[in-house]
Structure 1
Amino acid sequence: METKVFPLTCTPPLLPSIPFQANTRTVYFKPRSLSCCAAMRKSTAKTKEKEEQLLDGMPKEYYDEEWQAQQREKTKELERLRKQEDDEEERMVENYREIGIRLKGYPEEDVKKAKKLVSSFIRAEEEVEEKIEEAAEKGELTELVLMVIWNRLDLARRDDEKDVIRSLDLLYRRVETEILKREATPAMRLLNDLLNMHDGFNDDEWMKECRKRMIDTFPREDPFSILAPPGFDIDQHAGPVRPPLEADDILLRVDFVREVDALLQEVRQEQSEEQIVEGFDPESVASKLKQQEKQRTIHKVEALLDLAISLKW
C-alpha cells in the first residue's frame, strides 16, 4: 500500500491593500505601567521589612549617620594608636639590640666575670663600699665593669624605672671614682681625700684637718730632714741610714703644688670657654646649679693650694 506525502505550506494571510492617505496622523499609545510600579513598591517594602527584622536588636544610634561617622573616626584613631605602639615596640627592640651589641667587642669570659661582679655589687646593698674597695684592690674594676653598669642603667632609663636608675647611677659614679682614684697620681689622690673631708658647713675646722693631713703626708723640708733620713738622731749620730722601703711613694709638697696648680689652670681655661646660661626652664636651672657647684669646688681647691704653699711645720 503506497503512502503519499502531502507537503504543508504556511503562507501569510493576505492583507487587504489600504490606500495611502497623506493626511493620516499616526497616534502612539503609551502603555500603562501601574502594575509594574506597584510591584516594585511592594518589593521595596518587603526588603525594608526584612532589614528591620534583621536589625531589630541593634541600638538606635546605629541608624544615626553622625554616630556612625564618629565610630569610623574612632576606628581610624585605634588603628593609628596600634601602628604607633608597633613602631614604638620595634624601636625598643632595636635599642635593646644595640645595647647588647656594645659588649660584643670584649671576650665572652671577661663579660661574664664583669656581669657577675656587678651583680655582687647590687646584692651587697649596705656592704657595697667594701665590695668595691675589695674589687679595686684585686684589680677587677675595669672599663668593662663600667660598660656593664652603663648598659643596665640605659635599660632602666628606657623602661623608666626611677628607683633602679638612681641606684645604678650612684653605683656607676662610685665605681668610676674608684677607678680614677687608683689610676690617679699621689697628688690627685691626696687632693680628692682632702676635698672629701669637707662636711659642707665648717670651713675653718676643715682647713685645720687638711693642714694636719698635709703635715703627716709631706716630708719635712728643713735641712736636717733632707740630709738625714727619718728616725736618724743627728746628735747621737745613731739611727737608720737607709730610706724606708716606701720611699718611692713619698709625696713632696712641691709636687702637690705643681699638679694642683696645673689642674686649676686647666679648669679655669675650660670655665672661660663656657657660656653663661640664662633662663628659668628646668635645664637652665640645673645647668646653673652645676656651674655653682663647680665654682665652689674650685674655691676649695684654691684654698688647699694656698694652704700647701704656706704650710709650716
Structure 2
Amino acid sequence: MEAKTLHLLTCTALPPLANSSPVSGFLKVFRRPPSLKTLLRSKKMEERDLYGLPKEYYDDEWQARQREKTKELHRKRQEEDEEEERKVDEYREIGLRLRDYPDEDLRKAKKLVSSFIRSAEEVEEKIEEAAEKGELNELVLLVIWNRLDLARRDDEKDAVRSLDLLYRRVETEILKREATPAMRLLNELLNLHDGFDDDGWLKACKKRMIETFPREDPFSILVPAGFDIDKHHGPVRPKVEADDVLLRVDFVREVDALLQEVRYEQNKALNTQGLDSESVANRLKQQEKQRAINQVEALLDLAINLSW
C-alpha cells in the first residue's frame, strides 16, 4: 500500500523548472515582510512628495477656515446665479409687454421710435410731423418705455436721460392732440411765458384770447358782423360757428375744474418738512409746479374779466 502511494506521488509530481527550486516556489507563496530599509526609503519618498506645502495644511483651524471660505464662495455664486436668473425673467417680462399688439403695428412703432433717436437735433420736427400724420399712439409710448426700462436696468445713464426726455415729449404731443380746445389753448398760453416779463405775458395772452373767443357783447349778438346798421344792409343771421369754436365760458369752466383737481394735492405736498436730500428735491419740484398753478390762476382770472 505504501509503495502504491509513493508511486502515485512520484508519477503526478511536476518536474522542477530549470531555474527554480521547491524553496523558491515556497517563498513566492509566502513573501517576507518589507525590511526596515525599505520602510525608511518609502517614508523619505512620501516626505519628498509633500515637500513645499504650507505648514497651515496640517492645521485643523486653518482647514476649518478654508471650508468656511469655500461655503462663502458657493453662497456668493448661488446669489449671482439667482440675480442673473432674476434679470433674465425681468427682460423676458419686458419683451412680453408687446406680445398682444399686431406685428405690423409693432414694427411701425419700433421704426418710428428708432427714427426719433437717430434724428438728434431734429427730433422736435419729427415728433410734430408724426403727430400730424396720426402716428403717435399708446404703442409708440410703450416701445419708448421698454427701451427706457432696459436702459435703467443696464445702468446706462446717458440713454436713460435721452429716452426719458423723448418719452415726455411724445406723451405731451399725444396729450396735446387729444386734449380739448380749452386745454390746447391753455397750453399755448402757458408756452408764451418767457420766464421773466409777467405783464408782457398777460398782454400777449389777452390778445390771443380776444382772437380766439367769439365776441359776447349784446351788440355783436343782435347785429352780426358784416351788417351795416345805417343802410340796413348785410347778413341778418350770424354765421354758423364751426364745431371746434371755443367759448370763453367753456374755457373758464374747464380751467377751473383743472385747478380744483391739483390744488389739494399740491398744498399737501408743499407741507412736507423733511430735511433730507430727497425731501428738499421734492419740495423744489413742488414749488415749480406751484408757479405753474399760479400762472394758470392768472389766466383764469384774465379770462373771467376779459373785455373787448
Fold agreement, TM-score > 0.5: yes
Q: Distance in 2 between matches of 1:111 and 1:255?
A: 38
Of 190-199 and 284-293, deviating more is: 284-293
Tell me: CA distance 1:73–1:47, structure 2 relative to 1, closer, same or farther (3 Å). farther
1:156 to 151, 156, 165: 151
Tell me: CA distance 1:50–1:189, structure 2 relative to 1, closer, same or farther (3 Å). same
2:72 to 54, 62, 77: 77
Secondary structure, in 3 states, of the residue corresponding to 1:311?
coil
Secondary structure, in 3 states, of the residue corresponding to 2:242?
helix
Q: Distance in 2 between matches of 1:138 and 1:174?
A: 17
C-alpha displacement at 1:100, in angstroms? 0.8
Of 157-166 and 80-89, deviating more is: 80-89
Residue pairs, 1:206-217, within 5 angstroms: 206-217=201-212
1:122 aligns with 2:117: yes
Secondary structure, in 3 states, of the residue corresponding to 1:104?
coil
C-alpha displacement at 1:201, in angstroms? 2.6
Residue pairs, 1:1-313, within 5 angstroms: 43=39, 48-56=43-51, 58=52, 60=54, 63=57, 65=59, 70-235=65-230, 247-271=242-266, 276-313=271-308
Residue deviations 1:131-184 (CA, integer Å, cap 9, x gap): 111111111111111111111111111101111111111111111111111111
TM-score (norm 1): 0.78
Q: Distance in 1 between matches of 2:87 and 2:300?
A: 50
Q: Distance in 1 between matches of 2:198 and 2:106?
A: 45
Aligned residues: 280
Tell me: CA distance 1:60–1:205, structure 2 relative to 1, closer, same or farther (3 Å). same
Computing the radius of gyration from Cα coordinates, the structure with the larger value is: 1
Q: Distance in 2 between matches of 1:113 and 1:194?
A: 34
Of 58-67 and 182-191, deviating more is: 58-67
Tell me: CA distance 1:123–1:241, structure 2 relative to 1, closer, same or farther (3 Å). farther
Tell me: CA distance 1:254–1:282, structure 2 relative to 1, closer, same or farther (3 Å). same
Secondary structure, in 3 states, of the residue corresponding to 2:250?
helix
Check conservation: 1:277, 1:287, Cα contact below 8 A: no
Tell me: CA distance 1:146–1:49, structure 2 relative to 1, closer, same or farther (3 Å). same
Equivalent residue letter for 2:106:
V
Q: Which runs of 4+ in 1 moved over 3 A?
A: 3-7, 45-48, 58-77, 227-246, 269-276
Q: Which runs of 5+ in 2 are unaligned?
A: 6-32
C-alpha displacement at 1:237, in angstroms? 5.1
Tell me: CA distance 1:272–1:280, structure 2 relative to 1, closer, same or farther (3 Å). closer
Residue deviations 1:63-84 (CA, integer Å, cap 9, x gap): 4736655544443333222222
Residue deviations 1:5-35 (CA, integer Å, cap 9, x gap): 699xxxxxxxxxxxxxxxxxxxxxxxxxxxx
Equivalent residue letter for 1:84:
E
Q: Distance in 2 between matches of 1:259 and 1:219?
A: 17
Secondary structure, in 3 states, of the residue corresponding to 2:195?
coil
Equivalent residue letter for 1:300:
Q
Tell me: CA distance 1:294–1:79, structure 2 relative to 1, closer, same or farther (3 Å). same
Tell me: CA distance 1:131–1:59, structure 2 relative to 1, closer, same or farther (3 Å). same
Q: Distance in 2 between matches of 1:232 and 1:99?
A: 64
Q: Which runs of 5+ in 1 are unaligned?
A: 8-35
